[in-house]
């Protein structure tokens, strides 16, 4: 295996380097200098050294040219640089390929369906064809692409922030809240699609709001110690008040006592991921109970059927008038997540360490979870619950990329978009009647994930 060879080949150079004074590292061997350049090229922006900024850049460039000349030299073939460049190629290929797939799926999605469209007729100006394209197919395709992208990206965010490969938006109650909200609208509100959507959106946000609120009230305890420390906190809550009192009294003296002050415990500022998960589970089961009660009271002929059908998820009923608000909310949330991607990765670091790296852990986690929830809620309130994309897409992306960076987040989104669009195409072409979209998202995604795991195409276990 390539990685193994590299590890074996390295110790010599490694040890020699360590005997140098670390400032005198300009005396690069040719291969290492070449490697260094590969690395700098590989860094996200792929900016080459600028000659003016760095006096040693010339020295770095010159040997790099030699490396490519002497490619027959055996040592070059096993340098990490070679592997890194290979990986880099592989990664950008995955990114471009999935973007291309998404584009293809888009085109097919626009044309395929119960009323097939063809490019010639649309270009010829067939009024019926144009009508269908504009009012049905474009909104539906837009929702599939954006929705899939959003679910995939949000899944990546949830898994990273909770450091849990099984984490999904359902974990903090967004989908069960939305389901309960939709059921409520179907039963109580006047029958209209817009009301159901709005109620589902509100239900999803409400559930997550309650979960995060509960977690904040429980205090700032994170990680696996959530439960353990929680009991301690309640035991000493009387001390808490006393000490924070002392803190405010003596805050202008340098030797004051401060224990259990808000700076590192309670309040919304630092709800730990452990307590968020626990609160999420509680809210999730509460919402399921509400849903069950609503189902019990529903009229089995019409209402129960439409509740069940909503929960199964479909992009069937999407029209142009219904989606602009939800698409805007979703896009805004996604933009926020992409802007904050560096913080998302930092949140995956141990809480104490992240805090000392200057991350306001509690607040940042709340903000990112709220953004991700907003994104997910805006999608599933329109489409109904769509399972597996949020779980599958990030894992496929990680297996292909083998890391967690901005491009992994992007790939998660792209793959989510491909999955949902392709699944949606299948729902309206396989049989005469429309099928729930979740059937196909898992039918398409799960085998591919299994294939990636089996083939050893990715995963750090195989690289070692």
Partner 1 sequence: MLNSTQRNSGTDTAHRQLSSSPFHADHSSTRVSASRYDAPAAESHTCLQVSSLSAGYGRSQILKDVSFCAKQGEISGLLGPNGCGKTTLLRALCRQLPFTGSCLLNGRPLEQMTARQLAKQISYIPQRSGIAISIPVIDVVLMGFNPVLSLLAQPSRAQKEKALKALRAVGLESYAGQDYQTLSEGQKQLCILARTIVEDASLLLLDEPESSLDFPHRHRSMELLTEIIRGQDSSHADSHTSAEDTSNERTAFYGKAALVTLHDPQLALKYCSRLILLKNGVCTAILQPAKDSLPDMEDALSEIYGPIRLRAFEEKGCLSLILLPRV
> Between residue 21 and residue 80, which ones bind partner 1 under the rule CB under 8 A?
22-23, 25, 32, 35-36, 38-40, 42-45, 47, 49-50, 53-54, 79-80
Helix, coil or strand: residue 246: helix
User: Is the distance from CB of 413 to CB of 150 less than 8 angstroms?
Assistant: yes
Out of 109, 275, 343, 412, name the contact with partner 1 by CB under 8 A.
343
Which two three-digit tokens encode residue 368?
């990112």
Residues 6 or more apart in contact with residue 273 via CB below 8 angstroms: 161, 162, 163, 222, 223, 226, 351, 365
d(C-alpha 301, C-alpha 307), whole Å:
11
Based on the shown chain and the rule CB under 8 A, indicate whether residue 249 belongs to the binding site for partner 1.
Answer: no
Out of 262, 264, 328, 450, name the contact with partner 1 by CB under 8 A.
264
Nearer to partner 1, 209 or 360 (CB): 360
Out of 128, 352, 430, 446, name the contact with partner 1 by CB under 8 A.
352
Nearer to partner 1, 124 or 357 (CB): 357
Based on the shown chain and the rule CB under 8 A, indicate whether residue 3 belongs to the binding site for partner 1.
Answer: yes
In the complex, least distance from residue 67 CB atom to partner 1, rounded to whole angstroms: 13
Nearer to partner 1, 38 or 387 (CB): 38
Out of 214, 360, 439, 453, name the contact with partner 1 by CB under 8 A.
360
Window contacting partner 1 (CB under 8 A); options: 169-177, 195-203, 232-240, 415-423: 232-240
Size of the site for partner 1 (CB under 8 A): 73
Q: Which of residues 301-340 bind partner 1 (CB under 8 A)?
A: 339-340
Helix residue spans in 402-436 (DSSP H): 406-429
Which two three-digit tokens encode residue 16?
């020699």
Question: CA angle, 89 as apex, 86 and 92 as ends, to 5°?
Answer: 150
428 alpha-carbon distance from chain centroid: 28
Based on the shown chain and the rule CB under 8 A, indicate whether residue 121 belongs to the binding site for partner 1.
Answer: no
Based on the shown chain and the rule CB under 8 A, indicate whether residue 235 belongs to the binding site for partner 1.
Answer: yes
Burial (CB < 10 A; 0-12, 13-18, 19+), residue 370, is: middle
Question: CA angle, 386 as apex, 393 and 380 as ends, to 5°?
Answer: 110
Based on the shown chain and the rule CB under 8 A, indicate whether residue 358 belongs to the binding site for partner 1.
Answer: yes
Nearer to partner 1, 300 or 358 (CB): 358
């Amino acid at each position: 295996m390539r990685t193994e060879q590299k590890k074996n080949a390295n110790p010599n150079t490694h040890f020699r380097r360590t005997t140098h004074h670390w400032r005198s590292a300009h005396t690069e061997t040719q291969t290492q200098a070449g490697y260094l350049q590969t690395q700098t090229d590989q860094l996200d922006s792929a900016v080459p050294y600028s000659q003016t900024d760095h006096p040693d850049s010339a020295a770095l460039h010159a040997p790099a040219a030699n490396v490519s000349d002497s490619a027959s030299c055996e040592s070059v073939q096993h340098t990490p640089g070679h592997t890194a460049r290979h990986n880099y190629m592989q990664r950008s290929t995955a990114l471009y390929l999935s973007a291309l797939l998404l584009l293809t799926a888009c085109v097919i999605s626009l044309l395929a369906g119960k009323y097939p469209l063809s490019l010639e007729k649309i270009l010829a100006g067939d009024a019926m064809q144009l009508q269908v394209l504009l009012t049905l197919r474009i909104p539906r395709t837009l929702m599939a692409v954006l929705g899939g992208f959003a679910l995939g990206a949000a899944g990546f965010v949830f898994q990273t922030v909770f450091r849990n490969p099984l984490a999904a938006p359902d974990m903090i109650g967004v989908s069960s809240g939305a389901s309960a909200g939709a059921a409520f609208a179907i039963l109580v509100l006047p029958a209209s699609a817009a009301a159901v959507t709005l109620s589902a959106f509100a239900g999803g946000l409400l559930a997550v709001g309650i979960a995060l609120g509960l977690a904040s009230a429980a205090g700032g305890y994170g990680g696996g110690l959530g439960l353990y420390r929680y009991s301690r906190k309640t035991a000493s809550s009387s001390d808490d008040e006393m000490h924070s009192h002392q803190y405010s009294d003596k805050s202008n003296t340098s030797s004051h006592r401060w224990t259990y002050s808000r700076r590192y415990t309670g309040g919304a500022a630092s709800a730990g991921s452990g307590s968020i998960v626990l609160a999420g589970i509680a809210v999730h089961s509460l919402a399921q109970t509400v849903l069950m009660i609503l189902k019990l009271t529903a009229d089995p002929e019409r209402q129960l059927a439409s509740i069940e059908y909503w929960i199964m998820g479909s992009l069937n009923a999407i029209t142009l008038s219904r989606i602009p608000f939800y698409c805007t909310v979703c896009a805004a949330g996604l933009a926020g997540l992409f802007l904050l991607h560096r913080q998302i990765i930092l949140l995956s670091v141990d809480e104490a360490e992240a805090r000392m790296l200057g991350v306001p852990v509690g607040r940042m986690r709340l903000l990112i979870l709220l953004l991700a929830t907003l994104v997910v809620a805006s999608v599933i309130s329109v489409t109904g619950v769509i399972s597996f994309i949020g779980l599958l897409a990030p894992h496929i992306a990680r297996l292909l990329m083998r890391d967690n960076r901005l491009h992994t987040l992007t790939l998660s989104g792209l793959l989510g978009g491909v999955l949902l669009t392709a699944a949606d195409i299948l729902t309206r072409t396989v049989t005469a009647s429309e099928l729930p979209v979740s059937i196909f998202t898992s039918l398409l995604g799960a085998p591919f994930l299994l294939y990636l795991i089996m083939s050893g195409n990715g995963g750090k276990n195989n690289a070692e």
